[in-house]
Structure 1
């Protein structure tokens, strides 16, 4: 199982790590984000399926796009409370950052629900890594945070993302709409309950420093004993 040593941060969310046999999810420190910039620079989308209209969609090759991406992560890291939080992870393979995997909770203490968001370098797509990183972050959600339910969504023609959801036991949960390149498009919504996750739970995923992060997210630690 891969391990990656890194200096401890005074801010617990940056110390959380998830390790699988193939990859690691590491808290998105500034050092890791800087190392990911060349991947962001190469990730300009030039053909369908088009992604969401936001800075992470990477439509244009420009410094402003890279600044917008960094600013978005910085803002998200700073806006953390019990009512809403977003944990940003850099996906690392053999010591190299290749993408991001986020975990989002809204009123988590009340509802126990999370949403995931991810992107991966085009150079490593198509090798099952999208499924592996989703399994890693779901293990954090259900095993580390005791989530009750996870959701995911993707545009109707984002077949890799939709296939990952289906393969991991999510069930269809309706449709919604969003824009890309200024035009509306249908989004498939997916839902995974804790009971469904347990049926496919893996025993080869390691969580690091989750307990110290719970108070920051407004989550009560599990009872002792």
Structure 2
């Protein structure tokens, strides 16, 4: 009697598509969810009016770009560039995964790679930077794995749940990414992702 070796699970497919009208309610729900709100700078529940004002402004501000992250075709999060400064060739970026069930699958790693590549190869920037709550250690450590350097510790920078919270400022230069890129691509390939 022969035994059948278990096959590894099929790799997931991560894609990003520009935010569109069909995402309006989804983003509103995500932003106010208990899985996302604790990692944002603001604590209050976003009202429908606030959200609609923000959403209606998308595409009108050339310094901001937004994408919905999909896992196997299912929307699972949001990624964005902000403060795109073509003169100084830099911008900020952020992302969130709206469901804890997709965390640990390598989705964040794929998004990190994709966004870095877009910043340096499409927008032709020299620097990508971000700010992360110090308590969100998993995310700022992921950034560091991709070559981001801690450039600042903003003490008591935001008020969360009535208390001042520290924020880590991180930055990545295109020259640093060039030295890290292939190693990070190989790590994604080990997880079954093609970047």
Deviations 1:168-206 (A, max 9, x none): 01111011112223432110111100011112325754x
Alignment-derived partner of residue 75 in structure 2: 97
Alignment-derived partner of residue 33 in structure 2: 43
SS of alignment partner, residue 91 of structure 2:
strand
1:118, CA displacement in angstroms?
1.1
SS of alignment partner, residue 146 of structure 1:
coil
Gaps of 5+ in 1: 1-20, 206-225
Quick check: which has more Rg, 1 or 2? 2
Give the CA RMSD over aligned residues.
2.7
CA distance in 2, matches of 1:33, 1:91: 14
Deviations 1:64-95 (A, max 9, x none): 64553443233243233xxxx11010001111
Deviates more, 1:157-166 or 1:21-30: 21-30
Within the alignment, does 1:135 sit opposite 2:117 as a pair?
no
Alignment-derived partner of residue 18 in structure 2: 27
Change (3 A) 1:41 1:189: closer
Structure of greater relative contact order (alpha carbons < 8 Å, 6+ residues apart): 1
TM-score (ref. length: structure 2): 0.75
* 1:86 aligned residue (48, 64, 74): 64
Within the alignment, does 1:71 sit opposite 2:72 as a pair?
no
* Pairs aligned (count): 171
1:130, CA displacement in angstroms?
1.4
CA distance in 2, matches of 1:153, 1:126: 21
SS of alignment partner, residue 111 of structure 1:
coil
TM-score (ref. length: structure 1): 0.66
Q: Given that residues 41 and 66 in structure 1 are in contact (C-alpha distance below 8 angstroms), is that contact kept between their aligned partners in structure 2?
A: no
1:38, CA displacement in angstroms?
8.4
Gaps of 5+ in 2: 1-11, 186-193
Counting only pairs closer than 5 Å after superposition, residues 44-193 of structure 1 correspond to structure 2 as 44-45=34-35, 50-54=38-42, 60=45, 65=47, 68-80=50-62, 85-106=63-84, 108-121=85-98, 122-176=100-154, 177-193=157-173
Q: Given that residues 23 and 93 in structure 1 are in contact (C-alpha distance below 8 angstroms), is that contact kept between their aligned partners in structure 2?
A: yes
